[in-house]
Amino acid sequence: MKIMYRIRGAFYLLLFGACAIPFAFAQRGVPALPPIPSQTKGHSADPQVRPTPTPRPRTTPAPRPIVRPPPYPVGVWGSFGVGHDIDPNLVANMGIVGIGISDDWAEVEPAPGVYDWGTLDSKIAQAKAAGFQYISLAVTDSSSQTPQWLLDSLPPDQEIDLLDDASVHQTFCQPIHTALYWNPTFHQARLDLIAAMGARYTNDPAIVAVKMASFANHNTQDWNIQDTIGAIECPSCPQPTPTLCGTITVDQPAQWLAAGWTEPQMLQIGKEMCDAAAAAFPNQNIALPIGGLDITYPGFSGGTYTTMCRDIQDYVYGNASLGTPPRPYANRFFMQRNTVAANWQVGSYYDTYVPGFDADPYIKYMIRAHAHPNPPWTTPGQAGLQMVSAATLGSTTDCRQGGGPDGPCGPTCDPVCVMQTSLDVARTYGAAFIEIWAQDDVNPAFYDMIKAATIAMGGTPRDF
């Protein structure tokens, strides 16, 4: 019992001490301990006592890589042709590094804003299945391939009739209803076509190039404004409508001027077409055909034969002497001349000779300057060439590819001689690509020389 009383006494003594200690501190004026902070989350009434959060280190996002198209595949390029099925002889031509595929605007857009890509899709699929890894794509949005619904929508004063003076065309000596390039409806329709085409095809890695920057194109995607002055010898009379017959005298530059043509206005169309093609196809290289204009009327040509093509060159690639910067897409544009024949002067000739602005050789000089390159250009191979015709056709085209009856292969225009000579002279310009016609890329007699040309250009045949 005594033990129990002693334990109880010790307990009460401890309890009394615990209660007395805070009382004693209070009596001495010693501040009591602060209360335990509340665990309830909330904003402090006094921002000064709020703990300052430690800022998180910000990570700088890595810059997005600049999307650049693959280099333009070097070598000889062929054409799918106008047929619906790929030609087995084209597939067997291993020197052909890439294939051009196209369709006509009138076929692609049968109604306003309605696009039929069926033909292009089929040809692309066939080319890939045949082993072609590189494709150049085009829709021929030229005057002669304008959809009829678009022509019908234009007022009469927004069209002119231009006689086709090319004897190799099926429409030779027929008037071509031609929309004014600067008509807002026509121009916007071309811009819309480019945008729609880009939306469909720019993400296809096999499509490494497009031909959608042409703006001065009457028949094809080449530079071919109708500017004939003089007599055209049409077929003898009579001829079925709409073909004209006999000798017809024309002044096509005067027709253009009467309709409102100015060089600055056409140049603006070209600028917008180049911008549109670059925007629609950020993953592709883009061909830019160039050429000249008849100089009879300065208001038509802009002053010289080459004024407009030099102006579009300055816009795309820049001109330091004029204070003009290059466009952001300049590295993707390849100037191209599509009139190579066996009688062309070798490209190295223009390394030391600069022709006058009023001569066609200046166009060849421009190609050589971009391809070699010569100052002020610095990127080798940034140009392309295309044959003017098919060597296989021989004398049936008045030896057009051979340079005429007086060309280097003589009046018989032996196809093998013409093709070999044409490839040899084209290679001297240093261009990245040389395009040949469909009749030539399926000709087995040309296989070996085409493969040799591709190798000599630094390209890789498809069977290597």
Q: Per-residue DSSP letters for 75-131?
A: EEEEE--SSSS--HHHHH-TTEEEEEEEEEHHHH-SBTTB---HHHHHHHHHHHHTT
Residue 285 lies in a domain: yes
Residue 49 lies in a domain: no
Residue 58 lies in a domain: no
* pLDDT mean over 265-291: 97
Is cis: bond before 242, omega within 30 of 0?
yes
Contact residues for 343 (Cβ-Cβ < 8 A; gap 6+): 402, 403, 404, 407, 408
pLDDT at position 68 is 63
* Separation between Cα atoms, residue 134 and residue 285, nearest integer Å: 12
Residue 178 lies in a domain: no
Residue 292 lies in a domain: yes
Per DSSP, what are the bridge partners of residue 77? 98, 435
* DSSP for residue 235: P
pLDDT at position 450 is 98
pLDDT at position 36 is 34
Residue 44 lies in a domain: no
Residue 67 lies in a domain: no
Residue 8 lies in a domain: no
Parallel, antiparallel, or unpaired: how do β-strands 285-289 and 433-435 relate? unpaired
C-beta atoms surrounding 444 within 10 Å: 9
Listed range (24-28, 49-53, 116-120, 365-369) with the worst mean pLDDT: 24-28
pLDDT at position 460 is 97
| Number of compact structural domains in the chain | 1
pLDDT at position 55 is 43
Contact residues for 44 (Cβ-Cβ < 8 A; gap 6+): 50
* Separation between Cα atoms, residue 201 and residue 195, nearest integer Å: 10
Q: What is the CATH number of the domain that holds 318?
A: 3.20.20
* pLDDT mean over 37-47: 36
Q: Range of 212's domain?
A: 75-150+184-225+273-457
pLDDT at position 23 is 34
Residue 186, pLDDT above cutoff 60:
yes
* Separation between Cα atoms, residue 346 and residue 385, nearest integer Å: 13
Residue 131, pLDDT above cutoff 80:
yes
Residue 121 CA to chain centroid, in angstroms?
19
CA nearest neighbour of 210 among 370, 103, 127, 100: 100
Structure tokens at 173: 């000596």
